[in-house]
């Protein structure tokens, strides 16, 4: 496989991840995460830190975050850039907390793709907004 083919395949993994999320298909989203994925949220919010392994991502990050939201986060993909095994996605998220507060954040997710799955994510976002909506870390 040449490098351009690999880049296109890596971008497709990320496109598939977001498409599954848009459909609300969490099973397909999770299937695209490697079992040993590392997910790092930057900053000092209650959701910041590194989550090692798919189970930790689900139980320590997604579960607590989505438990505070009415319907999860609806993401809009704005841009996708890839080189080698890295794919960078710029997205906007829309959500509402259980008590009716909007949580509309912007994200930059830097993902490393390995064997057709997302092996690592480093997520940058407006941490001041996150702390304002959910309380400090």
Per DSSP (E only), the strands in 73-130 are 74-83, 86-94, 105-114, 117-125
pLDDT, tens digit, 9 for 90 and up, residues 23-38: 889 999 999 999 999 9
Report the DSSP pairing between strands 49-52 and 74-83.
unpaired
Which whole-number Å values give the CA distances from 25 to 32, 33, 80, 82, 87, in the listed order?
11, 13, 21, 24, 21
pLDDT at 24: 87
Supply the pTM of this predicted model: 0.92
Q: Is the pLDDT of residue 132 over 60?
A: yes
Q: Is the pLDDT of residue 107 over 80?
A: yes
pLDDT at 92: 97
Using a pLDDT cut of 90, give the percent of the chain over it: 91
pLDDT at 136: 85
pLDDT, tens digit, 9 for 90 and up, residues 43-79: 999 999 999 999 999 999 999 999 999 998 999 999 9
- Distance, in Å, from the CA atom of 5 to the CA atom of 69, rounded to the nearest integer, reads 38
Give, in words, the CATH class of 3-134.
alpha beta
Q: Is the pLDDT of residue 1 over 60?
A: no
Q: Is the pLDDT of residue 134 over 80?
A: yes
Query: In which band, very low, low, confident or very high, does the pLDDT at 95 lie, cut at 50, 70 and 90?
Result: very high
């Amino acid at each position: 496989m040449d490098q351009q083919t690999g880049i296109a395949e890596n971008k497709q993994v990320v496109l598939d991840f977001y498409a599954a999320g848009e459909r609300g298909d969490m099973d397909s989203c999770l299937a695209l995460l490697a079992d040993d994925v590392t997910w790092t949220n930057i900053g000092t919010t209650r959701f910041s830190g590194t989550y090692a392994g798919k189970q930790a991502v689900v139980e320590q990050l997604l579960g607590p975050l989505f438990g505070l939201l009415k319907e999860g986060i609806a993401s809009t993909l704005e841009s996708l850039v890839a080189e080698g095994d890295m794919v960078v996605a710029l997205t906007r998220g829309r959500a509402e907390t259980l008590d009716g507060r909007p949580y509309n954040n912007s994200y930059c997710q830097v993902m490393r793709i390995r064997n057709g799955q997302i092996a690592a994510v480093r997520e940058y976002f407006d941490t001041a907004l996150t702390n304002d909506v959910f309380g400090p870390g």
